Amino acid sequence: MSVQTIATQPIEGQKPGTSGLRKKTRVFQGHHYLENFIQSIWNGIGGVAGKTLVLGGDGRHFNAEAAQVVLRMAAASGAAKVIVGQNALLSTPAASNLIRDRGTDGGIILSASHNPGGPDGDFGVKFNTPNGGPAPESVTNKIFEATKTLTEYRIFEAQDVNLSILGASMLGDTEIEVVDPVAEYAKLMERLFDFGAIRALFEGGFRMRFDAMHAVTGPYATAILEDRLGAAPGTVVNGIPLPDFGKGHPDPNPIWAKTLMDEMMGADAPDFGAASDGDGDRNMIVGRGCYVTPSDSLAVLAANATVVPAYAEGLKGVARSMPTSRAVDRVAAHLGIDCYETPTGWKFFGNLLDAGRATLCGEESAGTGSDHVREKDGLWAVLFWLNILAAKGQPVSELMAAHWRDFGRNYYSRHDYEGVDSAAANALMDDLRARLADLPGTEAAGLTVEAADEFAYDDPVDGSRSEGQGLRIDLTGGARIVLRLSGTGTEGATLRVYLERLEADPDKMDADPQEALAPVIAAANHIAGIADRTGRTAPDVIT
């Protein structure tokens, strides 16, 4: 075994986006591509000599090979130790937990999350800092700078490490410890939630379906829901992680988890349904005949948090990404706690969680989490719901109806236009940005614009400022339109249009969201000229 120093040159476009670097799998498999980025991470964080790292991934195509590269490069740069999930698997929240629990110097997560996998799909690499959270922009900027000046990388010439057997071995002077990916995480969940109450719920005949979408949460969900909590065998479906996710799209929303949705809306539906994404940090919640939007889910968790042992003392505060609906804001106001509004992406919640300013955080894209780790956590959200349902003894639909009666209903939808020509998408945003100041007071589709701006975030903990985080337009009666371009896509541009309207009349809370939002949708098209500029008359995905 020897350390090889390989000459290379900078590769363009290795700029981490909303959640790490995501590219087509074939791009990542290209000459030096992965190696360049990993060496740039090491360089950007001041080297890994003497450090301990966590490593795991969501099991997608190229996960196993990439993990071996990361190990050989960590060893070649003098890392003291790497803690790896068995078979290079770790869900994102489980990795976050290990990074924190073991007091490590951070970790590498191999995942493109909700993006499809396989040789023609996507791959991704993310670096998390010692607090367990995604690297903040100050760190990802240094990594990106390092990619631009790279001239060489170091890698061990060695056999693959056997990652199927638990225990420690050496790669040069670096200790490689292979751990059970589920064990520590399951213990954490047991500490947070009332497992006795949830077990009693299942013993009473409560039926659930959890769709793991052939992604990483299968083993976690089976171990926790079926083995520890006594849910009936078969509760977890598509529970075996596959490199191509069984040709599915591991994005837990009503479109990509349609089989589950159909079952939950059909005759003899189970009491509760849930799904998670590629790397296990997202969640979809659906009751019998009742889909819960992620924004509403965050509000319900906040309103009922004290039934959960870990949050029995109450919440320090809550935070949501800017495009997430403002349902949780009214819960926070009712509880008398702070509510923070951050840019899209979990990295912006880290400081608030570390500083003890927020306990719960959430995003409209099916991400919810708390200060138990520094990532969003799919299975955690599912257990939180189960704990609430066990404590309340109400079906999901009744719980939602009661919540809306108390707080009003924020009708909410996101319209995605995918694979749009990048120049056209940028022109749409640039043009709208230039007109923002003139919009207040104007009318669109019968609604009046009250305010319009481009969101910038001043982090209250470290004072850093993040600009260009989405265009937002407030309309009459608590309606709002937000537009931004995705930072996780790998083909052209994805335009996301977030639509929201508050309904306070209890007699009008049962409408179809697309109908309830029709005027806001029309206003968005009118103001931004979406059809004209993108050539699309309808969104590709509506959630």
Helices (H), strands (E): how many in the chain?
18, 27
Min dist CB 164 to ligand VG1, Å, is 26
Contacts of 507 (CB under 8 A, 6+ apart): none
Please, which residues bridge with residue 448 across strands? 443
Closest CA to 77 of 160, 5, 170: 5
Is 281 a binder of ligand VG1 (CB under 6 A)? yes
Q: Is 281 in the site for Co ion (CB under 5 A)?
A: yes
- Determine if 282 is a binding residue for ligand VG1 (CB under 6 A): yes
367 binds ligand VG1 (CB under 6 A): yes
Could you say which of Co ion, ligand VG1, none residue 380 binds, taking C-beta under 5 to 8 angstroms by partner kind?
none
Q: Which of 263, 277, 364, 459 binds Co ion (CB under 5 A)?
A: 277
Quick one: which of 345, 513, 519, 539 contacts ligand VG1 (CB under 6 A)? 345
* 381 vs 377: CA distance, rounded Å: 6
Return the range that interacts with ligand VG1 (CB under 6 A); candidates 235-243, 329-337, 359-367, 473-481.
Answer: 359-367
Burial pattern 358-379, b for ≥16 Cβ within 10 A else e, equals bbbbbbbbbbbbbbbbbbbbbb
Minimum CB separation of residue 367 from Co ion in Å reads 7
Q: How far is the CB of 373 from ligand VG1 (least distance, A)?
A: 14
Cβ neighbours of residue 79 closer than 8 Å, sequence gap 6 or more: 48, 49, 50, 51, 52, 53, 174
| Gap between the Cα atoms of 535 and 346, Å rounded | 32
- Give dist(CA 3, CA 155) in Å, integer: 6
| Termini Cα distance of the chain | 51
**At 249, is the secondary structure helix, strand, or coil?**
coil
Choose from Co ion, ligand VG1, none: what does 416 bind? Cβ within 5-8 Å by kind.
Answer: none
- Stretch 11-40 residues interacting with ligand VG1 (CB under 6 A): 18-19
By C-beta, is 282 or 347 nearer to Co ion? 282
Q: Which does residue 123 touch among Co ion, ligand VG1, none (CB within 5 to 8 A, set by kind)?
A: none
Least Å distance, CB 166 to ligand VG1, is 27
> Phi, psi (5° rounding) for residue 55?
-140, 135
Asked whether 483 and 432 are in contact (CB, 8 A), the reply is yes
Of 37-45, 167-175, 211-219, 340-348: span binding ligand VG1 (CB under 6 A): 340-348
The verdict on whether 138 is a catalytic residue reads: no
Of residues 147 and 253, the one with the C-beta less far from Co ion: 253
- The tokens describing 203, both together, are 């013993």
Measured between alpha carbons, how far is 345 from 375 in angstroms, rounded to an integer?
A: 10
DSSP annotation of 9 reads -
Binding of residue 325 to ligand VG1 (CB under 6 A): no
Q: Which of 19, 113, 325, 370 is catalytic?
A: 113
503 makes contact with Co ion (CB under 5 A) = no
Question: Bridge-partner residues for 154, per DSSP?
Answer: 5
Give the contact letters, 99-118, x = binds to ligand VG1 (CB under 6 A), - = no. --------------xx----
C-alpha radius of gyration, the chain, whole number:
23
CB of 126 to ligand VG1, least distance (A): 8
Shortest-Cβ-distance residue relative to ligand VG1? 113
Print the binding letters for residues 466-505 with ligand VG1: x by CB under 6 A, - otherwise: --------------------xxx-------x---------
- The encoded tokens of residue 30 equal 């290209």
Residue type at position 95: A
Binding site for Co ion (CB under 5 A): 113, 277, 279, 281-282
> Would you name the residues annotated as active-site residues?
113
Binding site for ligand VG1 (CB under 6 A): 18-19, 113-114, 277, 281-282, 321, 344-346, 363, 365, 367, 486-488, 496
